[in-house]
Structure 1
């Protein structure tokens, strides 16, 4: 009886050992890295990846450009005001030229028009302002295009994955998870990647537009202050 108990106990221990080894082996073998998952998306992942890289390059380039243009220009306005009030227009023009900022270029154009009617000065400043805003908005529209195209590539990958599933079934004549898994990977990975890239591009597009709107408001405020400064002597 004791021998039977020992055999039973030993068999139980062996069974537990085999079960634990199987679990460990399955976990190690079934581990799927993020890079491997992306590769399973197939060739459709190439244009999605290119769109993601292009979007990031445009976002960071525009972000730092707009951020530089949106820096506080109170010091510039104070220097220009001081030079204009003292009648030293050349000094004010030099200050604006050396600033190398959108506001500096706007004020410089206005200073060069002093002596003409205020309407002409306002028109010159407004035209320069439009050019500066156009420079800030350069390539931002591409992010909007990426936001629309990337999910389309994801949908294209979904169609390609479904076609692959039916093709693999037709070739093998077997309807099993192993046969259809390749197409399912393509279908799901490309759809997820396309949506993700599209959402990120959409967010980046609106973030940059909000930054540009903030710069426009600041430029308009400073331009009004500059026109008021020019009108002060005539009051």
Structure 2
């Protein structure tokens, strides 16, 4: 196989990895950045209303500026008259579905991060093979230029594979951090809602019994 063909054969997989990694990263970043939560001011208003067990006032704030986990809140409110165990189970099911939406395609970044260094190592081995082949077919004294091309390919593919892996691991950690923060806010808010509903139901039952 000609030298140029070898270079192309080792470079194309790394190029494809970089393209796929960039496409996944752009799609996930755009998707995550569009997931809306409550602003600090809105969260303070909601928390204040929930502490006073004014669930309807808290819901009014969410209706004015709906969050991306609004379907979870609607599912919770559909179980407002059920027991806390049933309501919390419904919340958990919806949160798992929402988390799966947020984490979709994230495994692709880790797969590319694992695959790219191995492809780089494969390019390194092929580059060294080229260097030794050039040494073997050389008729006179071995000049540095005879092996330089193969060594350049070996080092370049290794560096490219490592750069792609670092890029994927960094973005995966960054996006996952954003997802965890977003889900933590959602869980905290939903737990407060559920607790407020439970207190309302308990006080309603006590009033009826009285």
Q: TM-score range by the shorter chain?
A: 0.7 to 0.9
Question: If the length of structure 1 is used for normalisation, what is the TM-score?
Answer: 0.71
Contact 1:41 1:189 in 2 (8 A): no
Contact 1:40 1:189 in 2 (8 A): no
Q: d(CA) in 2 for partners of 1:219 and 1:187?
A: 48
**Alpha-carbon deviations, 1:86-138, whole Å to 9, x = none?**
869xx86x939x93612x01100011122221211111011000110011011
Aligned counterpart in structure 2 of residue 173 of structure 1, from 139, 144, 153: 139
Aligned counterpart in structure 1 of residue 117 of structure 2, from 133, 151, 155: 151
Corresponding residue for residue 117 of structure 1: 83
Q: d(CA) in 1 for partners of 2:176 and 2:67?
A: 22
Of the two, which has the highest radius of gyration? Answer: 1
Corresponding residue for residue 126 of structure 2: 160
Corresponding residue for residue 187 of structure 2: 220
Aligned counterpart in structure 2 of residue 56 of structure 1, from 22, 26, 30: 22
Aligned: 1:105 with 2:66:
no
Unaligned runs of 5+ in 2: 204-210
Corresponding residue for residue 207 of structure 2: none
Contact 1:146 1:198 in 2 (8 A): yes
Corresponding residue for residue 183 of structure 1: 150
Contact 2:55 2:196 in 1 (8 A): no
Deviating 4+ runs (over 3 angstroms): 39-42, 73-78, 84-88
* SS state at 1:69 partner: coil
Q: d(CA) in 2 for partners of 1:187 and 1:145?
A: 22
Tell me how far 1:232 sits from its aligned partner. 3.3
Tell me how far 1:154 sits from its aligned partner. 0.9
Contact 1:155 1:190 in 2 (8 A): yes
Q: d(CA) in 1 for partners of 2:183 and 2:66?
A: 18
The two structures, once aligned, show a CA RMSD in angstroms of: 2.9
Aligned length, in residue pairs:
190
Higher normalized contact order (CA 8 Å, seq sep 6+, divided by chain length)? 2
Question: If the length of structure 2 is used for normalisation, what is the TM-score?
Answer: 0.78
